[in-house]
Structure 1
Amino acid sequence: MKKTQKITALSARAAAAEIVLQVCDQGQSLSTLLPHYQNKVKPQDFPLLQEICFGICRVLPRLERIIQHLVDKPLKGKTRIVHCLLLVGLYQLLYTRVPSHAAVDEVVNATSVLKSERFRGLINGVLRRFLREKEAILSLIDKHWQTLHPEWLVNKLKKAYPHWRDIIEANNQKPPMWLRINQQHSSVAHYRTLLSQESYPADNPSALRLTTPSAVQNLPFFSDGWATVQDINTQWAAHLLEAKNHEFILDACAAPGGKTTHILELAPEANVVALDIEEARLVRVHENLARLKQQATVICGDASQPMTWLDQIPMPSRQFDRILLDAPCSATGVIRRHPDIKWLRQEQDIPALVALQKQILTALWSILKPNGILLYATCSVLPEENSEQIVQFLENTPNARLEALPFNHTDKNAIGFQFFPQPAGGDGFYYAKLRKVSVDSQQG
């Protein structure tokens, strides 16, 4: 009889060290890596794995300074996995409720599966020394306020905003969990009564904030499409677009589909096209549409090259009534949800992103109907991707007119609107609403 090979689950600590190594040294993202590890660890260990990985990326410079203080020689090359195990151990000791002895023992034991057993003594010694000298070490390490951000990003925020410290502090917090309530099934007030925990409505007509995050399977009627997890500031996209039934709507850069489904909640009979350049990411769009029992035309294509995919769409003209462009960006407004962005994004990435945004904006403008609306959006807080991008577009596009947003009542000269991350509020998000007018009316 043939023996089946027993597959041993990877410990959460070993998996975390592998993931952190790939983020820090190979530039891979947590959102890409974590799904691959979901079946490599025990189901009950996956939440801990997520907590450790996100947490390390959130406070990485602080942990690095502690290691520099405790380890004489930097761990380089093949020993970088040992360095990452120390990050895992220190994060647990500082930020989790895992008992100290268990945290140390589990990290030491992880050396076996990671083929680093000869470093058991080093890891054990460093972590136990930290526990003995914790107060003195932290007083030295934390003598000055730490931004926990790369210097280039801090400098950009300083230059752009007087309240830059508030942005950084918000980025370093864990984000709240926001729900979008499907008005076709329930009101926000009614859904609050269905929840088993306290929750808070907000100024957005469909938003509800949970006191503590919850697994989606615990949310009432989630599988039936009554609610969607979506940040409150992202939820403004569909409201500002103001899609109408029977109009042709393009959701460019649509994955994972949260805005697509919201547009269809507000205008169920709109002809919505969800476009994204990555085929793999469109799987999520299909899943979200299926859960909400909605219909949309889903296309894999490059938003900067509309003529390569426009013929796939059954529409009477080659132009849309409304376009939502959630442009590729630095994602500096959602750092608290994706703290690895701080270490993946580089300063030299920004000019290339700005150029791509300009290219897409210009290309999509050509397929917008006269008097049509294009809503430009990013999850960035950098002016060059947002207000400065729109100023330049308006200067170069005679038939583009900036429309007022409901948030601009205090500043009628504002170029769009910039949301900033708030500890109990939404993420950093930018909107600018543009109308395609005749050149004569623009001049008049």
Structure 2
Amino acid sequence: MTAPSPSAAGARPRAVAARVLDAVLLRGRSLRVELAKSLPTLEDPRDRALVETLCFAVLRQPGRFEAALSNWMPKPPGRRDGELKTLLFVGFAQLDPLGLPAHAAVASTVEAARVLGRRHQAGLVNALLRRAQREGLPPASPEADWPDWLRERIRADWPAQAAAIFAESVAPPPLWLRVNRQQGSRDAYRERLTAAGIEARPDPDLADALRVEGTLAVASLPGFTAGAVSVQDAAAQAVADALAPPAGARVLDACAAPGGKTAHLLERDPGLRLTALDIDPKRLEAVHATLRRLQLRGDVRLMAVDAASARDDWWSGEPFDAVLLDAPCSATGIVRRQPDVRLHRRAADIEALVKLQARLLDVLWAKLAPGGVLLYATCSILKAENAAQVEAFLARTPDASAGALPETFGHASGPGRQRLPGEGGGDGFFYARLVKAAA
């Protein structure tokens, strides 16, 4: 049997990427959901990695590729030709910013037009990609793909840092690993990575974190399947330090899925008596799977519960020593990891989220023991969800006060600390440590 040509072999992942991007860019679907459906159709992990890389490269700067089509085509493709349009974006992204070998990228993308049933448009794809190769694409503008209302809110909240926020939000992030200290030390795991040809650097402020530049398949990490390590951003790893529950404490993780922070707390102290809630039973299954992979057992209860509900029939009435509220939010601090946030987020969403966050704070505060700590955290950079939210809570809650967090948690922002995207290599994240008065 004759082996397929390299361009034919590379055509399918490019066609899959075009279909995913058509669903996300032109039909308002979730990138995470579309990738979850599409990636399992590809057997080769290198193809799956390529699809992810292509989708993220396009979604970080779609306006740039749209401008190229507007400049070079009298009538750019419309919604009925959505897959053609997104395939062209895939081709552009390979040339810039990804810088893949031009001949192979163009040939495989042209062949992908045939895979998509657009053989009659393969010549057009070839011509436009050759032009992009000759003339280059329009320069990137980090601000261009943010909706006007959100761009202005960020400028108002962070006037001195706004330009850096926009620039960092289109930059590919490093890969952050969290070493499971129940299976070995960070130094020992770093040696395993070195033996596998993977260079990693420890973070001085995060005891379990290793930073890896570039991308690699998670399954290729030594001991991943057996639970030696997890992938978790630096800013999210800092949550365990910010909460810092006492040994053996009774802890509530109120919005736990997919389980990374729950697992980190148990890795730190398997003796915690931990209850993890999530409103979505299907998402709670991810928490189960995470704990199984990491081989974490102990006094752990996982419950499908709406933490914002006034109903508390799930609760024994015994107060918790520590509560983690990683609240639903705008996700504006993780755009570099979820670039479709800019496409789907609406101004009205912020008001609804602020109301939900306030309700969660009030309901969960009643379940915290006197002298206990509630950590309020979001992956947002908007002050309405962060500093202003906590200030309003403190104003209406006489027995609450803000505990101090060190400068390693970011900029002082009202009663909490704010990390901005890219600072220390991590995502944008807010932390406020709220202490309940002793009885």
Give yes or no for TM over 0.5.
yes
Match of 2:151 in 1: 154
Q: Which runs of structure 2 are paired with 1:395-406 in the superposition (5 Å)?
A: 395-406=395-406
- Normalising to structure 2: TM-score of the pair? 0.89
- Matching of residue 302 in structure 1 with residue 300 in structure 2: no
Structure 1 position 330, deviation (Å): 0.8
Contact 2:175 2:212 (C-alpha < 8 Å) held by counterparts: yes
Match of 2:436 in 1: 436
What is the distance in 1 between the residues matched to 2:360 and 2:174?
32
Change in Cα spacing, 1:276 to 1:204, as seen in structure 2 (3 Å) is same
Structure 1 position 108, deviation (Å): 2.7
Structure 1 position 408, deviation (Å): 8.1
Percent identity among equivalent residues?
39
Contact 2:410 2:417 (C-alpha < 8 Å) held by counterparts: no
What is the distance in 1 between the residues matched to 2:357 and 2:141?
38
Match of 1:378 in 2: 378
The code of the aligned residue for 1:19 comes to: V
What is the distance in 2 between the residues matched to 1:72 and 1:304?
52
Match of 2:98 in 1: 96
What is the distance in 1 between the residues matched to 2:225 and 2:123?
49
1:183-203 deviation digits (Å, cap 9, x = unpaired): 333232333223223322221
Q: Which runs of structure 2 are paired with 1:21-420 in the superposition (5 Å)?
A: 21-43=22-44, 44-134=46-136, 138=137, 141-142=138-139, 147-161=144-158, 162-196=160-194, 197-202=198-203, 203-295=205-297, 296-305=300-309, 307=311, 310-312=312-314, 315=316, 317-407=317-407, 414-420=414-420
1:341-386 deviation digits (Å, cap 9, x = unpaired): 1222223321111111112111211222222211000001111110
RMSD between aligned residues: 2.5
Match of 1:5 in 2: none
Structure 1 position 409, deviation (Å): 10
Change in Cα spacing, 1:256 to 1:173, as seen in structure 2 (3 Å) is same
Q: Secondary structure at the match of 1:209?
A: strand
1:122-161 deviation digits (Å, cap 9, x = unpaired): 3232222333333xxx4xx329775543333221221111
Contact 1:57 1:339 (C-alpha < 8 Å) held by counterparts: yes
Between 1:328-337 and 1:86-95, the stretch displaced more is 86-95
Contact 2:254 2:276 (C-alpha < 8 Å) held by counterparts: yes
Contact 1:404 1:412 (C-alpha < 8 Å) held by counterparts: no
What is the distance in 1 between the residues matched to 2:223 and 2:37?
28
Structure 1 position 49, deviation (Å): 0.7
Structure 1 position 327, deviation (Å): 0.4
What is the distance in 2 between the residues matched to 1:80 and 1:156?
31
Change in Cα spacing, 1:20 to 1:412, as seen in structure 2 (3 Å) is closer
What is the distance in 1 between the residues matched to 2:35 and 2:424?
26
Match of 2:426 in 1: 426
Task: Kindly report structure 1 stretches of 4+ aligned residues shifted beyond 6 Å.
Answer: 408-413
Q: Secondary structure at the match of 1:195?
A: helix
Between 1:187-196 and 1:274-283, the stretch displaced more is 187-196
Structure 1 position 28, deviation (Å): 1.7
Structure 1 unaligned spans of 5+ = 1-7
Change in Cα spacing, 1:31 to 1:185, as seen in structure 2 (3 Å) is same
- Normalising to structure 1: TM-score of the pair? 0.88
What is the distance in 2 between the residues matched to 1:146 and 1:268?
44
Change in Cα spacing, 1:306 to 1:226, as seen in structure 2 (3 Å) is farther
Contact 1:200 1:211 (C-alpha < 8 Å) held by counterparts: no
Change in Cα spacing, 1:94 to 1:322, as seen in structure 2 (3 Å) is same
Contact 1:176 1:424 (C-alpha < 8 Å) held by counterparts: no
What is the distance in 1 between the residues matched to 2:348 and 2:123?
41
What is the distance in 1 between the residues matched to 2:292 and 2:418?
32
Q: Secondary structure at the match of 1:388?
A: helix
Contact 1:68 1:74 (C-alpha < 8 Å) held by counterparts: yes
1:32-74 deviation digits (Å, cap 9, x = unpaired): 1112112323423111111110110012111111111111113
Between 1:371-380 and 1:188-197, the stretch displaced more is 188-197
What is the distance in 1 between the residues matched to 2:238 and 2:114?
49
Q: Secondary structure at the match of 2:210?
A: strand
1:2-57 deviation digits (Å, cap 9, x = unpaired): xxxxxx99811211111111111222222111121123234231111111101100
The code of the aligned residue for 1:84 comes to: T
What is the distance in 2 between the residues matched to 1:273 and 1:233?
23
Structure 1 position 332, deviation (Å): 0.8
Structure 1 position 294, deviation (Å): 1.7
Change in Cα spacing, 1:157 to 1:410, as seen in structure 2 (3 Å) is closer
Change in Cα spacing, 1:17 to 1:206, as seen in structure 2 (3 Å) is same
Q: Secondary structure at the match of 2:306?
A: coil
Change in Cα spacing, 1:142 to 1:405, as seen in structure 2 (3 Å) is same
Q: Secondary structure at the match of 2:245?
A: coil
What is the distance in 1 between the residues matched to 2:310 and 2:186?
38
Q: Secondary structure at the match of 2:225?
A: helix
Between 1:426-435 and 1:404-413, the stretch displaced more is 404-413
Change in Cα spacing, 1:233 to 1:144, as seen in structure 2 (3 Å) is closer
Q: How many residues align?
A: 423
What is the distance in 2 between the residues matched to 1:380 and 1:410?
13
Match of 2:15 in 1: 14
Structure 1 position 79, deviation (Å): 1.4
Structure 1 position 227, deviation (Å): 1.9
What is the distance in 1 between the residues matched to 2:349 and 2:189?
42
What is the distance in 2 between the residues matched to 1:227 and 1:118?
48
Q: Secondary structure at the match of 1:24?
A: helix
What is the distance in 2 between the residues matched to 1:147 and 1:326?
30
